[in-house]
Structure 1
Amino acid sequence: MKRFLLSLLSVLAFGCSQNESSTQESKEEVPKPNILFIMSDDHAMKAISAYSKELIRTPNIDRIAQEGALMRNAFVTNSICAPSRAAILTGKYSHLNGLRDNRDEFDGSQMIFPKLLKTAGYQTYLIGKWHLKSKPQGFDFWKILIDQGEYYNPRLVSENDTTVVNGYTTDVITDEGLSVLQSRDKSKPFVMLLQHKAPHRNWQPNIKHFRLFEEDLPIPATLYDDYKGRQALAEQDQQITNMWLSNDLKLTPDYYEEETGTGGAVGPSDPESSYAAMLNRMTEEQRVPWDAYYDSVGLAFKSANLSGKELWNWKYQRYIKDYLKCIVSVDENVGRVLDYLEAEGLAENTIVVYTSDQGFYLGEHGMYDKRFMYEESFRTPMLIKYPKGIRSGTSIEELVMNIDFAPTFLDYAGVEIPKEMQGLSMRPLFEARGERPEWRESVYYHYYEYPHGWHKVKRHYGIRNYRYKLIHFYHDVDTWELYDLQQDPQEMNNLIDDPKYGDVVEELKAKLIEKQIELNEQPEIIDLTRGEEFIGGDRL
């Protein structure tokens, strides 16, 4: 009887303590979510069918949105590969994380979200494209491509060695990632950065996908843009008309009399030799079907004897088809990973992200590549699922950014978000019921890679809200551009000198200065009158 009473008192005491426990203590009982961050390179939103069905079907990437959230207004801070990756890791803009363009080396000693998660008990993994020059830090295991990497038979570098793995790189990266997940310590949560090379230039498809997209694809409405009223756009060198017949479009000199491309401000001094070197990396098993397919393309090109706008259109079709074929492989491999999570019982408690390091031009304004603050490259795809925290089929309209990933992951993992992070946790957007939470009303952008590097895109910075965009191009120019995205979503009409928009320009310039102060990019550093940049007193 005495033992029964003691037991009863224990149960009652336990019940009271449970009722009085804090919300924080309850949260500690919930397992920390795994995090799988899948990032491709140069994947335009338009080339994901969850956003647009005009060009391609991507059923596996779409699964992430169907089972979670589709971010409809996601942006980058600086639309170029290495700076975007640094912004994602640090949650900070380029001027604070120190990586402003592809020439810079990432300072790996600084705070990045994988380090914080590792300290909190996570296993941390990095597989695939790194592209930050310095050695990865904060990862329990990493295996990365050298620089941009290769599409076939990639060289993979780890802490201990460098190996060449035969196969198609998108498949190889996924194989490596799944192998690591299978051998992980299953008693701990994990965060994996699974980062693909595709669909980066020069868009080499998997052999099995050569015969996809046989029919011509629709031509963008702005393919023949004349750049009227937009000086910086008129002076760039990333037009489809300037693509190399060899390195970009996969023809050998047997099929043309003269190389027609420029391919950017810098690059291989001999694009034909560069293309030949790529071919020589292939095994015979890979090379035979490659030659058979692209020889047929070359024969058709030679017999057509194209010039002028017909050549322009042919280059567009060749480019866009190879680009999309690379995405088909990415989508297949996203499906492999999602299937693995489900088969292992991990899907319910894993945050899965699909994104790109930035957007890309698919013929809009006659261009390929990225860099500009125009919508096609400023925007980035962002799809996120987490069954325990995000309702399926969620659509988010708020202005989110790539610097928001780090604080979001930390928030869900129960790790304090450092004050130095400039991004915001997106968790309140996912958990909102009815009235939306307070959120940013505008986003800021700054691109630095000029006159060095590729494509002659002028330095510029700007601000965008839900309707308007203001851009300032500077360095060896001093021009402003204003777009009414509601009336002109394709950004063809620069309204900067339209008196009807004078008040809008004045208001946006004031907001621009406020945003620079907020982000610790002091307005006195940017001379808005002369368009010159000063850092530490030195003019660049």
Structure 2
Amino acid sequence: MRKFLLLTSVFVAFSPFNLFAQQTDNQTSTQLQDNAASNKKPNIVFILADDHRWDYLSVMGHPFIETPNIDSIANEGVLFEKAFVTSSLCSPSRASFLTGQYPQQHGVQNNFTVWDNENVTYFEPLKEAGYATAFIGKWHMPGGLPKLRGVDQFISFDHAGGQGAYTGTPYIVNGKKLKLGESPVEGVDITGYITDDLTNFSNKFIEDNKDKPFALYLSHKALHLPMEPDPEAAGIYDDVKITLPKEADSWLAFADSSFKHFLWAPLEEKMKDYAETAVAMDQQIGLVLDKLDELGLADNTIVVFAGDNGYMWGEHRLIDKRWSYEESMRIPFIIRYPNGIKNPGRRSQEMLLNLDMAPTFLALAGIEVPKHMQGKSAVSVLEDKSETLRDGWLYKYYEDYPYPVPEQLAYRTKRYKLIQYKRGKKNELFDLQNDPLEQNNLIDQPDMQNIYEELKIRLNEMEAEVSQPAAATE
């Protein structure tokens, strides 16, 4: 059983880069992929946390949270310090992880637009290549649970609108609804706490498929509201003093519609619940890593830990995600692959997106990346090459009733960010190198107008490009 470890704080600084460097193409013919094609294909374990912001990890220098198992993935792999989602909301982001596409392409634009069963996920080419496949955990896309093509074992839930509950969630396996307390996996008992259950189901899948290549998508409910840790982690941070962001003042409740979720507990107490829920999840991630070690599979298994979006705890006088600020769009994203990563333990400053995961998995498995995927393979970064993944990228938040958050388009480079609002708020321009907390809007500064105009052009061009039908881009 992996143990807790409290790491000392580190400070992650924004590095200056040329704003308009040349973008590079996807890396599809590399040593890692050649290895995958000629030898046993690598296993894939993707672990997704819900609402887990990028800095709530001890490896990122959080002042008190302890996540030794997630930290170990970083210490043995590559930690992407500048990883983001293209839309900071559960359903659009999750669809992008699966399809390698922007929401403009896969069509899941908010938490109410229905998943199109014609969408092609990375599971399908993996299945065709002989992989055993499983999706275990939170689906949370509109339209109910689909018949997910390319997936052998689909264990999820539709309880509480697809959110499930930390305790008392009945499961669904391959479309069959089970009674509360009934296990979807033979030989695995229900514990009653969802994080533990999903871990146990996942470990059984790994064990059952240890002699063939497998791809597991483990999708946790944690850390989503109501943020309930298991009894072992509950209360471990009761004595910690929380320092709120300076913007989290007394009128926060009136400034943000999402604050209604927190009226039944002080903000500091919910932040402790959030941290304790993360610790409970980290303990279970340790059990998955232990299972890979036990079966001798760790070296040939790609393990990825990521979050589906960030989370704001009073920054910009906001709670929740949805907005184009760093705390909302930035996520943890860590890749471990002992047989493939060169110089493990590195931190990358390349801007990695959620839609890059699907093409990266396929490339590492030696499978041709479909042309409709808009993400970029990160294989060059794993090989410790100097190629730039991208200079800039597009963020879009679609209105999501009943939340009164305006539609937003943003374009982020390594140094600057432009945010355009459809209504109700002045557009914003930030110099992230000199203002990483996005406090100083430069939109009206005379000496910033050339950069402003260039970013507008790039934003509009990219919005048009990623919105084209897939057939038009092939």
Partners of 1:413 and 1:26 in 2: CA distance: 9
Distance 1:478 1:365 in 2: 13
Q: Which residue of 2 aligns with 1:317?
A: 268
Q: 106, 110, 120: which one pairs with 1:97?
A: 106
**Seq. identity, %:** 38
1:125/1:193 contact within 8 Å kept:
yes
Relative to structure 1, the CA distance from residue 180 to residue 23 in structure 2 (aligned partners, 3 Å threshold; closer, same or farther) is closer
The aligned counterpart of 2:373 is 421
Partner of 2:92: 83
8 Å contact 1:224–1:365 — kept in the other structure? no
TM-score, normalisation: structure 1: 0.74
- Counterpart-to-counterpart distance in 2, 1:374 and 1:33: 36
What is the 5 A alignment of 1:377-396?
377-390=328-341, 391-396=343-348
Match of 1:9 in 2: none
Q: Which has the larger radius of gyration?
A: 1
CA 1:387–1:225 in structure 2 vs 1: closer, same or farther (change >3 Å)?
A: farther
- d(CA) in 2 for partners of 1:368, 1:170: 24
Q: Residues of 2 paired with 1:444 and 1:55: CA distance?
A: 33
With over 3 angstroms needed to count, the CA separation of the structure-2 counterparts of 1:347 and 1:234, relative to structure 1, is same
Q: Which residue of 1 aligns with 2:426?
A: 479
Q: What CA distance in whole angstroms lies between the structure 1 residues aligned with 2:136 and 2:85?
A: 22
> CA separation in 2, counterparts of 1:161 and 1:214?
38
Q: Would you say the 8 A contact 2:36–2:364 is kept in 1?
A: no
Answer yes or no: is 1:502 the counterpart of 2:449. yes
Please give the alpha-carbon distance, in whole angstroms, between the structure 1 residues aligned to 2:94 and 2:296. 30
- 1:460 alignment partner AA: Q
Change (3 A) 1:358 1:25: closer
- Equivalent of residue 43 in structure 1, options 52, 58, 64: 52
- Code of the residue aligned with 1:69 in structure 2: it is V
Distance 1:316 1:70, change over 3 A: same
Return the offset for 1:492.
Answer: 1.6
> Could you tell which deviates more after superposition, 134-143 or 378-387?
134-143
Match runs of 1:345-494 below 5 Å: 345-390=296-341, 391-433=343-385, 436-450=386-400, 452-454=401-403, 456-474=404-422, 476-477=423-424, 479-494=426-441
Q: Measure, in 1, the Cα distance between the counterparts of 2:155 and 2:227.
A: 22
Structure 2 CA distance for aligned equivalents of residues 190 and 514 of structure 1: 39
1:208 and 1:24 mapped to 2: Cα distance? 42
Amino acid at match of 1:237: S
Query: CA shift at 1:109, angstroms?
Result: 2.4
Residue 151, structure 1, aligned to residue 166, structure 2: yes
Which residue among 175, 178, 184 is the counterpart of 1:162? 178
In the other structure, the counterpart of 1:538 is none
Distance 2:153 2:359 in 1: 22
* Partner SS state of residue 321, structure 1: helix
| 1:327 paired residue number | 278
Letter in 1 for 2:286: G
The secondary structure found in structure 1 opposite 2:93 is helix
The Cα shift of 1:155 comes to 1.3
1:52 aligned residue: 61
Q: Is the 8 A contact 1:44 1:362 kept in 2?
A: no
The structure with more helix, counted as a fraction of residues = 1
How big is the shift at 1:80? 0.4
Q: Contact 1:46–1:54 (CA<8 Å) still a contact in 2?
A: no
Equivalent pair of 1:83/1:99 in contact (CA under 8 Å): yes
Structure 1 counterpart of 2:232: 208
Paired residue type of 2:300: N
Q: Of 115, 135, 156, which aligns to 2:146?
A: 135
Residue pair 2:83, 2:352 contacting (<8 A) in 1 also: yes
Cα 1:23–1:116 change in 2 (3 A) is: closer
- TM-score computed with the length of structure 2 as normaliser: 0.84
Relative distance call for 1:480 and 1:365 in structure 2 (3 A) is closer
Q: Please say if residues 262 and 270 of structure 2, whose CA atoms lie closer than 8 Å, have aligned partners that are also in contact.
A: no
Structure 1 position 46, deviation (Å) = 1.7
Instruction: Note if contact 2:104-2:466 (Cα within 8 Å) is conserved in structure 1.
Output: no
Could you say what the CA RMSD is over the residues aligned between the two structures, in angstroms? 2.2
Instruction: State the partner residue of 2:201.
Output: 176
